[in-house]
Amino acid sequence: MESFDILFAGHLHGFGGAEKSMIKVANALSEKGFKVAIVTFDVNNQKFEINRNVRLYFIETFAAHGLIRVFERYRKAALLLSQINVKLVISFWFQLSIIFFFLSFCFRYKVYYSERGDPTDKEYSGLNGFIRTVCFPFMNGFIFQTKGAQLCFSKRIQLKSIVIPNPVYIGYDDYSLPEERKDVIVSVGRLHEQKNFQLLINAFSKIATRYHSYMLHIYGEGPLKDSLIQLVNSLDLQDRVVFKGSVSNIYECIVDDSIFVLPSLFEGMPNALMEAMALGIPSISVDCPPGGPAELIKNGVNGFLIENNNQEELIQVLSYVIQHKDKADIVGRNAKQICYTHSIDSIMKQWELFIVNELSAY
């Protein structure tokens, strides 16, 4: 029977930020000598490399959506746990955190939830909210990406939690600042309601006739692709807005673009924004809950913050950045400091210390 110090639980849907963070943390901890495994449910669309020392378990489910699928996940997770020994389970998805919480009474491990989104989101209304209220006080601990997310919970939860931001996987000298930038506004993310690309497309439509040379490039795939294309067509922007899909060499594709925009309705600690800043791209972000962008950006210094879902303010700031390229260059240069403040070494040391402390009390 195999034994592991840590089992990470989540979904591998592709290029998502949660998937990337889970894999990168698992890889880093395995390199430090911890025995690490990952379990993914439903889909195994692995886009980020997993170290050979990290064991990957794929649990396929066949039931329809709803409680039947939840019970299937529970039953198959129990079967896996009967075949391995685990000391810590860290879930990167709410439902799995609850499943592994209940299974912990049988299999005697510690269970932690790593919140990757907005704790105030509507997904926590109704039954999910009730389950969270009942179960969370009895979990062993929590890992938050932002102080804002941590403060959404009671003192009882806060006292057994830690804030560990995402790292950037770009070194300061990995990519030089370009001598000249392309007239491209860029955004990266899953084509999903949360990412609010409608806001960006509508804002771009208001400045497109004024700044004829500028294009809008959107990288990512998702369920809203067709409706977003329809929106672009309805605005007669099909020659100015390009959906670039998901690419593995995203840094090379965007490094010399002029402006990065994060229009999301909510984010944890947005990897796409951090990476754009690390590349030195002048970046505009909405100040969305639970506060990740606001913890990264000092407005007008290393980026630009605008009110969440405010199209008029986005139009104003886009116009300002286009018109004031010298200021934009300074902001982009300042943004690259994130390569130091959120370096892989500094963030992974926080994870390592957390894991060591928890294992020592096992």
Q: Left (φ > 0), alpha (ψ -120 to 50) or beta: where does 213 sit? A: alpha
The span from the CA of 166 to the CA of 320, in Å, is 29
The span from the CA of 362 to the CA of 359, in Å, is 5
Are 223 and 354 part of one and the same domain?
A: no
Q: Which tokens is 153 given?
A: 């919970």
Question: Percentage of the chain surpassing pLDDT 70?
Answer: 99
Please report whether residue 69 resides in a domain. yes
Higher-confidence residue of 117 and 23: namely 23
The span from the CA of 20 to the CA of 262, in Å, is 18
Gap between the terminal Cα atoms of the chain: 19
Please report whether residue 50 resides in a domain. yes
pLDDT of residue 18: 79
> What is the pLDDT averaged over residues 18-24?
87
pLDDT of residue 240: 97
pLDDT of residue 136: 94
CB neighbour list of residue 244: distance below 8 Å, 6 or more residues apart: 217, 218, 219, 253
Domain around 347:
2-167+343-360
Please report whether residue 174 resides in a domain. no
Are 163 and 207 part of one and the same domain?
A: no
CB neighbour list of residue 358: distance below 8 Å, 6 or more residues apart: 88, 110, 112, 140, 141
Return the DSSP state at 299: B
Are 223 and 131 part of one and the same domain?
A: no
Sign of the torsion angle spanned by Cα atoms 304, 306, 310, 313? negative
pLDDT of residue 53: 94
Place 126 in a pLDDT band, splitting at 50, 70 and 90: confident
> What is the pLDDT averaged over residues 277-294?
96
Instruction: Tell me: pLDDT of 14 over 70.
Output: no
Mean pLDDT computed over every residue of the chain: 93
The three-state DSSP-derived secondary structure of 38-107 is EEEEEEECCCCCCCCCCEEEEECCCCCCCHHHHHHHHHHHHHHHCCEEEEEEEECCHHHHHHHHHHHHHH
The span from the CA of 238 to the CA of 200, in Å, is 15
Q: Which residues pair with 215 in a beta bridge?
A: 184
Question: What is the number of domains present in the chain?
Answer: 2
Q: Judge contact between 224 and 197, C-beta under 8 A.
A: yes
> What is the pLDDT averaged over residues 327-345?
97
Instruction: Tell me: pLDDT of 215 over 70.
Output: yes
Place 359 in a pLDDT band, splitting at 50, 70 and 90: confident
Are 161 and 186 part of one and the same domain?
A: no
The span from the CA of 66 to the CA of 197, in Å, is 28
Please report whether residue 30 resides in a domain. yes
Instruction: Tell me: pLDDT of 324 over 80.
Output: yes
Q: Where are the alpha helices (DSSP H) in the chain?
A: 17-31, 67-81, 94-107, 126-135, 147-150, 155-159, 197-207, 225-234, 250-254, 271-278, 292-296, 311-323, 325-335, 338-341, 344-360
Are 64 and 22 part of one and the same domain?
A: yes
Using one digit for the tens of pLDDT, what is the confidence trace for 42-95?
A: 877 777 889 999 999 999 888 877 889 999 999 999 999 999 999 999 999 999
Place 362 in a pLDDT band, splitting at 50, 70 and 90: low
Instruction: Tell me: pLDDT of 106 over 90.
Output: yes
Going across the sheet that includes 110-115, the strands are 55-59, 36-44, 2-12, 84-91, 110-115, 141-144, 161-163
Question: Percentage of the chain surpassing pLDDT 90?
Answer: 84
Are 325 and 195 part of one and the same domain?
A: yes
Place 319 in a pLDDT band, splitting at 50, 70 and 90: very high
Using one digit for the tens of pLDDT, what is the confidence trace for 138-155?
A: 999 999 999 999 999 999
Backbone angles phi, psi at 273, to 5 degrees: -65, -45
Q: Left (φ > 0), alpha (ψ -120 to 50) or beta: where does 134 sit? A: alpha
Instruction: Tell me: pLDDT of 358 over 70.
Output: yes
Place 15 in a pLDDT band, splitting at 50, 70 and 90: low
For position 311, which CATH number holds? 3.40.50.2000
Please report whether residue 173 resides in a domain. no
In terms of Cα–Cα distance, which of 333, 349, 351 is closest to 172? 333
Instruction: Tell me: pLDDT of 123 over 80.
Output: no
